[in-house]
């Protein structure tokens, strides 16, 4: 596979799936009740005005149906082509093939591709709220980069109907200790940040992740990440991932501990979150 193909696929996937997630909670919040003001934006619209010359009745009868049919077929062909590309491409084929190609390369390089790109969005309920994750990564056979954004919306701890939020960000360099067709084990290092209602932390981040083939297109995925200071964070998850060409459908369970170490007001605030998650992604 040409090394340029994952990069081109990455640009396409970014345009389709990138989005923002909400962020704020009791971790990193002062020991007091705050009332937040909600802001409402008025939606504005305008009516479209048709511009152009009116055709004769014969033109309307002859041209408009034909143009409408051409546009319909064009949109249908584009949609079918897009889904055909998604389900027929990607590094993660339905079956791992151990045979070699004409130049000695592996035909199906499941977890040992020369260059791979991944992008995903997942979310689910957690303790007293919900969490949404966006992640993106690009890596070669050994080295790579990985970035993640998590937004959590939680019930306020002051008994009100308000919502607290926390946003977490990570940026890691990765190195694959094991890079085989059926398994990839990475160690990761970089920086992480946590934005809470009354404080923002930035600290070093360490992690480890595993992807392993179980049967056919089904993979097992596991990941753990920790930040030792100035705040403390432990984030662990395990999931099953179904690879359908370039499309990845995953579901699993996640647990997280956040501790602000008393950096806000001298009182230690510790929150524990856990719950199932489900998501979609792309892998090339």
Q: Band of the pLDDT at 93, cuts 50, 70, 90?
A: very low
Q: Would you say residue 103 has pLDDT above 50?
A: yes
Quote the pLDDT of residue 65.
56
> 50 in the Ramachandran plot: left (φ > 0), alpha (ψ -120 to 50) or beta?
beta
CATH 3.30.870 fits 4-29+97-283, yes or no: no
Q: Provide the pLDDT for residue 72.
A: 57
Residue 38 has pLDDT above 50, yes or no: no
115 or 43: which carries more pLDDT confidence? Answer: 115
Q: What are the structure tokens assigned to 209, written together? A: 């992740």
Mean pLDDT on 47-74? 54
Q: Using pLDDT thresholds of 50, 70 and 90, give the confidence band for residue 83.
A: low
Burial 35-73 (b: 16+ CB within 10 A, else e): eeeeeeeeeeeeeeeeeeeeeeeeeeeeeeeeeeeeeee
149 or 198: whose pLDDT is higher? 149
Give yes or no for residue 102 having a pLDDT over 60.
Answer: no
Q: What is the CA radius of gyration of the chain?
A: 24
Please determine, for residue 114, whether its predicted confidence score (pLDDT) is greater than 70. yes
- Is residue 140 predicted with pLDDT exceeding 60? yes
Structural contact between residues 178 and 211, judged by C-beta atoms closer than 8 angstroms: no
Question: Token digits for 212?
Answer: 């392993």
Query: Which sign, positive or negative, has the C-alpha torsion 100, 221, 281, 17?
Result: negative
Mean pLDDT, the chain, integer: 77
Q: What six digits make up the tokens of 161? A: 């109907």
pLDDT 10s digits, 206-262: 999 999 999 989 999 999 999 999 999 999 999 999 998 889 999 999 999 999 998
pLDDT at 34: 46
Query: Is residue 211 within 8 Å of residue 219, measured between CB atoms?
Result: yes
Model pTM? 0.66
Residue boundaries of the structural domains of the chain: 4-29+97-283
Tell which wins on pLDDT, 71 or 92: 71
The better pLDDT of the pair 202, 71 is held by 202
Mean pLDDT, residues 46-57 taken together: 51
Q: What is the pLDDT of residues 164-214, one digit of tens each?
A: 889 999 999 999 999 988 899 999 999 999 999 889 999 999 999 999 999
């Amino acid at each position: 596979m040409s090394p340029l193909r994952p990069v081109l696929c990455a640009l396409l996937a970014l345009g389709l799936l990138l989005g923002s997630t909400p962020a704020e909670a009791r971790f990193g919040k002062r020991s007091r009740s705050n009332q937040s003001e909600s802001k409402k934006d008025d939606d504005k619209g305008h009516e479209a005005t048709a511009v152009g010359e009116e055709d004769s009745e014969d033109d309307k009868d002859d041209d408009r149906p034909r143009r409408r049919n051409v546009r319909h077929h064009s949109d249908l062909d584009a949609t079918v082509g897009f889904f055909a590309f998604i389900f027929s491409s990607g590094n993660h084929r339905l079956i791992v093939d151990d045979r070699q190609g004409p130049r000695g390369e592996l035909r199906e390089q499941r977890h040992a591709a020369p260059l791979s790109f991944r992008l995903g969005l997942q979310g689910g309920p957690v303790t007293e709220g919900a969490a949404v994750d966006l992640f993106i990564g690009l890596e070669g056979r050994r080295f790579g980069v990985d970035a993640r954004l998590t937004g959590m919306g939680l019930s306020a701890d002051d008994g009100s109907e308000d919502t607290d939020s926390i946003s977490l960000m990570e940026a890691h360099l990765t190195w694959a200790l094991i890079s085989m067709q059926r398994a990839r084990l990475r160690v990761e290092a970089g920086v992480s940040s946590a934005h809470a209602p009354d404080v923002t932390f930035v600290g070093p981040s360490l992690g480890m992740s595993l992807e392993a083939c179980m049967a056919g297109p089904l993979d097992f995925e596991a990941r753990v990440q920790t930040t030792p200071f100035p705040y403390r964070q432990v984030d662990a998850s395990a999931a099953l991932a179904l690879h359908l060409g370039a499309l990845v459908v995953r579901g699993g369970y996640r647990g997280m501990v956040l501790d602000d170490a008393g950096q806000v007001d001298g009182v230690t605030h510790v929150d524990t979150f856990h719950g199932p998650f489900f998501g979609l992604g792309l892998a090339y």
